[in-house]
Amino acid sequence: MLNVASLMLSNPYPLSILTTTTTKFCHHSLWINIPCPSLVKHPNKSKCASLSHSTIIPLECEAEEIVEKEESGVKWHDVGSDITESQKDAISQLPPKMSNRCKALMKRIICFSEDENLSLLLAAWVKTMKPRRCDWLSILKEMKRSNNPLLLEVMELALLEDSFEAAVHDYTKLIDTYAKHGRLESAENALQAMKSRGFPSDQVILTVMIHMYSKAGDLDRAKEAFEEIQLLGVPLDTRAYGAMIMAYVRAGLPDLAEGVMIEMEAEDMYAGREVYKALLRAYSLNGDARGAQRVFDAIQFASIVPDSKLCALLVNAYCVSGDSDKARSVIENMRSAGLQPSGKCVALMLGAYERENGLDKALAFLMELENDGVSVDQEASEVLDRWLEKLGVADGELQHVLRRFSPEEREVPK
């Protein structure tokens, strides 16, 4: 299921739904002919009360009695006896404090079958029960809680209802949900529908679109969305800048990403740890030690305290670039700051020394670690084993000395 729980808790959630039925939901032309997305196939194929029922039963809703009109054709008081045990169980778990009008719809949704029409069902409910926004939110919250497969469709239809009181925030949540699940076309349809209803794009929605396009590998569209934000005439926030930095990082363009970072810092704003980490990783994997060092310095300037993972990325950048002395210096700085080198850092250093055939440096490095009480983990041990094998050392004093640094072989002082 899409994570749409929070979508409806504070504001309505306009979705790009889209049906061409002649009910009240279809009077908004912007939704017509847009396919209605569905998250999961309806698992419920059992026959339940359908919209063709003509018997009308009065229902007491809240403090007032609501009498159904025959034209609605829906039995709200009862879904019939031909339902499954799982449906009975789901109905029994409806919140006791849920209003009668909401329970009536939830029962029909739980027992919904594929030969029914969801838009007609909701239209009948709206006409008979006269729901308010709080009722819609109650329905959506319960559907989310129970992982009902019709959640997204109900949300989409709800956005077309005046009683839902849809706002920009709702479209933002919907578009964000689509974007996180790679549903590019659905997100774009929702955005277009929002604009057609007179809601202008804001920085939050456009930031979501930047993330979506960059994850889909469409850098040009991401740049267009970023430029649209700049044309709004309002100061860019850290999320918009961060989204564009990530777009360039995902496109393999760390230099351009750093350019946005510099522009951002000029406005006295700083990206989050994960954004800096992504940019640092991009330089690190490319072996661009200078770029990695610049980003590492920027991290500290942003008052972010580097942890062992960030330090490992800088160590890797120097190791890949062939500068083991600088990499060693980073590790020494870590130790001075009270950070214990991770197994990854140790393995990187040993790998760098192996490429330089610097066995003496490796031994000195390991001796220092031993004095500090640092043991060599499995990853570093594997590097040692491969190195010893290449040297043709099977036994002897050298192998014994190296193996002393393994947690399993390390000698315990008496």
Q: Is residue 349 within 8 Å of residue 315, measured between CB atoms?
A: yes
Note whether residue 205 is domain-resident.
no
14, 134: one domain: yes
Decide: pTM greater than 0.85: no
Please tell me what DSSP assigns to residue 11. Answer: S
- Whole-number Å distance between alpha carbons of 222 and 304: 27
* pLDDT value of position 73: 61
353 CB-near residues (< 8 Å, 6+ apart): 324, 359, 361, 362, 365
**In which residue are the tokens 């062939």 written?**
322
61 CB-near residues (< 8 Å, 6+ apart): 99, 100, 101, 104, 129
> At which of 166, 192, 220 does a domain end?
166
- Whole-number Å distance between alpha carbons of 282 and 261: 14
Main-chain dihedrals φ then ψ at residue 311, nearest 5 degrees: -65, -40
* pLDDT value of position 66: 41
252 CB-near residues (< 8 Å, 6+ apart): 282
Q: Is residue 127 within 8 Å of residue 72, measured between CB atoms?
A: yes
136, 285: one domain: no
Total number of domains in the chain: 2
* pLDDT value of position 202: 93
* pLDDT value of position 72: 52
Give the residue from 252, 236, 184 showing the smallest Cα distance to 37: 184
> At which of 137, 166, 195 does a domain end?
166
Note whether residue 178 is domain-resident.
no
Q: Is residue 291 within 8 Å of residue 254, measured between CB atoms?
A: yes
* pLDDT value of position 403: 55
- Whole-number Å distance between alpha carbons of 206 and 212: 10
> At which of 145, 166, 187 does a domain end?
166
Note whether residue 140 is domain-resident.
yes
210: its two tokens: 């930047």
14, 157: one domain: yes
**In which residue are the tokens 């899409």 written?**
2
* pLDDT value of position 11: 43
Strand partners, 59: 66
23, 137: one domain: yes
150, 22: one domain: yes
- Whole-number Å distance between alpha carbons of 86 and 149: 14
- Whole-number Å distance between alpha carbons of 181 and 2: 8
* pLDDT value of position 256: 98
* pLDDT value of position 70: 39
155 CB-near residues (< 8 Å, 6+ apart): 4, 7, 8, 13, 15, 17, 140, 174
**In which residue are the tokens 């239809």 written?**
157
* pLDDT value of position 77: 67
CATH code for the domain in which residue 336 is found: 1.25.40.10
* pLDDT value of position 406: 52
Give the pLDDT of the chain (414 residues) as one tens digit per residue: 444 444 444 443 344 343 333 333 333 333 333 333 444 344 444 433 333 333 333 333 343 334 444 345 677 767 777 889 999 999 999 999 999 999 999 999 999 988 899 999 999 999 999 999 999 999 999 999 999 999 888 988 898 899 999 989 888 888 888 888 888 998 999 899 899 989 999 999 999 999 999 999 999 999 999 999 999 999 999 999 999 999 999 999 999 999 999 999 999 999 999 999 999 999 999 999 999 999 999 999 999 999 999 999 999 999 999 999 999 999 999 988 989 888 889 999 999 999 999 988 988 898 888 888 877 788 888 888 888 788 876 555 555 655 555 555 544 444
159, 279: one domain: no
**In which residue are the tokens 């789901």 written?**
90
Note whether residue 251 is domain-resident.
no
Q: Is residue 105 within 8 Å of residue 98, measured between CB atoms?
A: no
- Whole-number Å distance between alpha carbons of 281 and 253: 12
150, 278: one domain: no
Note whether residue 80 is domain-resident.
yes
Domain that holds residue 354: 272-403
282, 152: one domain: no
336: its two tokens: 């001075």
Q: Is residue 59 within 8 Å of residue 76, measured between CB atoms?
A: yes
12, 143: one domain: yes
